[in-house]
Chains A and B, each alone.
Chain A
Amino acid sequence: EAQVTQNPRYLITVTGKKLTVTCSQNMNHEYMSWYRQDPGLGLRQIYYSMNVEVTDKGDVPEGYKVSRKEKRNFPLILESPSPNQTSLYFCASSTQRGASPRFYNEQFFGPGTRLTVL
């Protein structure tokens, strides 16, 4: 089954304790992104990656790091989480290649990670 997986689904942590949220896709997509969702603001892009070892900042990158060492994985790292990073996080992947153009640019989302920083 084609899918994007995220772990953990729920996480409660304390200020300053480093954490990583993993993301993996099995569709061989070249593009991957992280978004955060906050009430009244919709989803905003944190970081994105166009391929292995190629990453760039989105709209709200402060306090986050990412890496793309393998095509299928795109972890989100919070080196020193703060309460304002309490949010719902989504990983997504997409492609502009392949035999099905109707899926080009469609972002496939993971199930979300609910993060609470105390």
Chain B
Amino acid sequence: AQTVTQSQPEMSVQEAETVTLSCTYDTSENNYYLFWYKQPPSRQMILVIRQEAYKQQNATENRFSVNFQKAAKSFSLKISDSQLGDTAMYFCAFLIQGAQKLVFGQGTRLTINP
């Protein structure tokens, strides 16, 4: 069975700092996708970034980037120049190619302080 582990239940940084959220996963599959979702107080699930396992290049979306280490089964999210609006719960998630079940980690509650 696939599992996703986020070892940091809570994190807090000052505005404009860089913060890294960690995520590890366990799978025997070779073709899969990894995602980071943001859940602000509105509870809406918002996709932040995605990574296809077959791509060696790390995905980036503006201030958000990932460090994907396939051999280590690690998928961390880096937020640069953090903003107050980044305050949210962040979930790491895993999807096997061809399947339709996202497996989520426990979440990391991130607070950006002014």
A residues at B contact (CB < 8 Å): 31, 33, 35, 40-45, 48, 50, 58-59, 88, 90, 92, 94, 96, 105-107, 109, 111-112, 114
Q: How many A-B residue pairs have CB under 8 A?
A: 52
Which bracket fits the contact residues of B? 20 to 34
**In the complex, which of the residues A40, A44, A94 contacts B100, with contact meaning CB atoms closer than 8 Å?**
A94
Q: A41-B106, A43-B102, A43-B104 are in contact. Are A105 and B95 (CB under 8 A)?
A: yes
Known interface pairs A35-B102, A111-B42, A112-B44; 6 further A-B residue pairs with C-beta atoms within 8 A, sorted by A's residue number: A31-B100, A33-B100, A40-B106, A106-B47, A106-B50, A109-B44
Majority DSSP secondary structure for residues of A touching B: strand
**In the complex, which of the residues B6, B33, B43, B50 contacts A112, with contact meaning CB atoms closer than 8 Å?**
B43
B residues at A contact (CB < 8 Å): 4, 6, 9, 33, 35, 42-45, 47, 50, 91, 93, 95, 97-98, 100-102, 104-107
Cross-chain contact A44 with B104 (CB below 8 angstroms): yes
Q: A112-B43, A112-B44 are in contact. Are A50 and B102 (CB under 8 A)?
A: no
Q: In the docked arrangement, what's the CA distance between A58 and B42, Å?
A: 26
| CB proximity of B97 to chain A, nearest CB, Å | 7
